[in-house]
Structures are given as structure tokens and as C-alpha cells.
Structure 1
Amino acid sequence: MQDAAFDAVAIGASAGGVTALQTVISALPRGFRAAVLIVQHLDPRHKSLLADLLGRHAQMTVKEAD
């Protein structure tokens, strides 16, 4: 099996960083060729809505990792 290389952008944010994340995601053009990995610190007792919130602003598919 041959290793496949790909570009990725990693972003970290606290629970208060949703607006900043929406700004960054909405600025990425359609066809952006790198994977965007976002890690956000949240209270583990609450379900994350981040993928839904960012998906409204993105020109790419947004998914929460399994």
C-alpha cells in the first residue's frame, strides 16, 4: 500500500470560539483542497452542535468525527 499525502489545516478553539470559527470557515473558497480539522473544548455533558453551526457557513462538507 502506498502512503497518500494530503494537506490539512488544524484549528483549536475554546467554547467561546464559535463566531471566530464561523468567520474562518466562511472565508474558505469552494474547492479548498485541504482537510480542515477543528478541535473545540466543550463541556462533555452537552452534545456538540459545532458541525451543524459551521455547516451553515461552509462551502464544503462539514462532519463530526466518529
Structure 2
Amino acid sequence: MNDGSEGSRDPRPPFVPVCAIGASAGGVAALQTLFRLIPDDLDLAYVVILHLSPDYPSALSEIISACTRMPVLQVEDGPT
């Protein structure tokens, strides 16, 4: 009898819990403290939404990268 479990794969991607964090431009110091204290092995994805001026380049990814061993990627608004 074949129950279908042998050789079958679940086509769904793995579940990754997400923690969303919002802050204003003045929240960078709080983000630094937070990412220094968060263990990097919690198997969570963190999404940080921060109001930034479109007139100036941002170093936020470098700032957060200096506070954690987790990989940090910056996504920018713009044409796709």
C-alpha cells in the first residue's frame, strides 16, 4: 500500500515568522539597542520600516549590521 508519503514533497515554501518594527527617523538609537539585544538564532525575519528622507542617502543597513550578526538587507521604494 502506498500512502503517498514516500518521495512526495510539500510544494509550499517553509514558514518563516516575521516581526515588523516601525520607527521614525529618531528611532535609530532604539533600533541599535534592540538589534544588539536580540539573539541571532531565533529563526525570525525582522522587517524594519523607518521614515527616511528621500533627499539623503541612508546608512541604516550598515548601522544595523554593526549591531547584529544577522544578515541585513535594505529595500528601497522605487520603480520595479
Query: Partner of 1:12: helix, strand, or coil?
Result: strand
Instruction: Compare 24-33 and 36-45 and name the one that shifted more.
Output: 24-33
Q: Please list every run of 5 or more consecutive structure 1 residues that lacks an aligned counterpart in the other structure.
A: none
Q: Does 2:75 align with 1:65?
A: yes
Larger of the two Rg values belongs to structure: 2
- How many residues matched? 66
TM-score, scaled to structure 1: 0.88
Q: Please list every run of 5 or more consecutive structure 2 residues that lacks an aligned counterpart in the other structure.
A: 1-10
TM-score, scaled to structure 2: 0.74
AA in 1 matched with 2:55 = R
AA in 2 matched with 1:44 = P
Query: Cα distance, 1:6 vs. partner?
Result: 1.2
Deviations 1:13-66 (A, max 9, x none): 100100000011111113221000001001111111100001001121111125
The 5 A counterparts of 1:1-66 are 1-65=11-75
**After the TM superposition, which parts of structure 1 deviate over 3 Å for at least 4 consecutive aligned residues?**
none
Query: By percentage of residues, which structure has more helix?
Result: 1
Q: Find the aligned partners of 1:49 and 1:14 in 2 and give their Cα distance.
A: 15
